[in-house]
Amino acid sequence: MTAAPYRAGTIAVVGRPNVGKSTLINSLVGAKVSIVSPRPQTTRHRLLGIATFPEGQLMLVDTPGIHGNQKRAMNRYMNRAARGAVSDVDAAILMIEAGRWVEDDALAYSALKESGVPCVLVINKVDKIPDKTKLFPFIAEVTTGREFASVHLISAMKRKGTEVLVKDLIAMVPESDPHYGDDEITDKSQRFLAAELVREQLMLRLGDELPYSATVEIEKFEEDGALLRIAAVIWLERESQKPIVIGKGGERMKAISTGARLGMERLFDRKVFLETWCRVREGWSDDEAALSRFGYSE
């Protein structure tokens, strides 16, 4: 028996905010390359998660959730990054949430259709639907009049249905040697990942609109023997936001810093010494020059 040829290629993961795109990518890669939170618009940048299997290698493009709100320059950047991700890929996943199809889903679908790449429909969070028979009319509703190469029901969080999905995706990419070594998991630098892990804590620990007013810049990233010395600045839009991030007696800032440090130690597999502090740059999220300085540019 001859073994099937190795396959390798790129798959964009597209969908409205909060459907579980980054969760799926992390689960397939086997490490947290992309931050996850219960809030929409967590992912802001395009990012490659590299998942290597015995039969093939999938380069999964994580994208910001496509959404109709184009108010701030930051939102326009995110939508551009998502839409731009579908050019030059072998296939795309449209991810939606089981039992819910809303306007932003239709927006994501039309972005994919414009690109003309084959599209797999992935219905995530099926663990939230106790009565699975309810999914059949939902699938019928979503697929009527729309074209998908295949349909998958999964729970990215519980890793259900992902094995069959991987098989299907590998069949959609060309025969090729792997593009990356099997120890490589992303195209982003450790510096970028460190900033994201601080931002993840902001998404998890700050309420309301505050996380959307924050971005993180790594000012120092140095190796010191076995230790990594990292300094992160949390940039806010207004002076009045500072005390909220810092918290009573600096408690919230301490929790943010500890959470981020633990994430870094897990991902980088070494001890980290992390310093964090807050600064203000008025209105940065709607200011093109500031966005570009903070890495929000193509």
Largest CA distance in the chain: 68
Backbone angles phi and psi of 291, in degrees to 5: -60, -45
Q: How far apart (Å, rounded) are the C-alpha atoms in residues 78 and 81?
A: 5
Q: What is the DSSP letter of 241?
A: G
CB of 9 to Mg ion, least distance (A): 21
CB of 10 to ligand GTP, least distance (A): 18
Beta-strand relationship, 272-280 and 227-236: parallel
Q: Is 257 a binder of ligand GTP (CB under 6 A)?
A: no
Name the residue number minimizing CB distance to ligand GTP. 65
Nearer Cβ to ligand GTP (127/219):
127
CB of 67 to Mg ion, least distance (A): 12
Q: Is 18 a binder of ligand GTP (CB under 6 A)?
A: yes
Tokens of 271: 């001890």
CB of 4 to ligand GTP, least distance (A): 29
Nearer Cβ to ligand GTP (10/230):
10
Taking CA atoms, 178 is separated from 20, 107, 184, 232, in Å, by: 26, 33, 11, 35
SS3 223: strand
**Any idea of the CA torsion for 8, 14, 20, 22, to the nearest 10 degrees?**
50
Q: Is 122 a binder of ligand GTP (CB under 6 A)?
A: no
List the interface residues with ligand GTP, window 142-171 (CB under 6 A).
155-157
List the interface residues with ligand GTP, window 51-90 (CB under 6 A).
64-65
Give which of Mg ion, ligand GTP, none residue 38 binds (C-beta under 5 to 8 Å, depending on kind): ligand GTP
Q: How many CB atoms lie within 10 A of CB 116?
A: 9
The residue from 125, 152, 199, 261 that contacts ligand GTP (CB under 6 A) is: 125
Amino acid at 79: N
Q: Is 134 a binder of ligand GTP (CB under 6 A)?
A: no
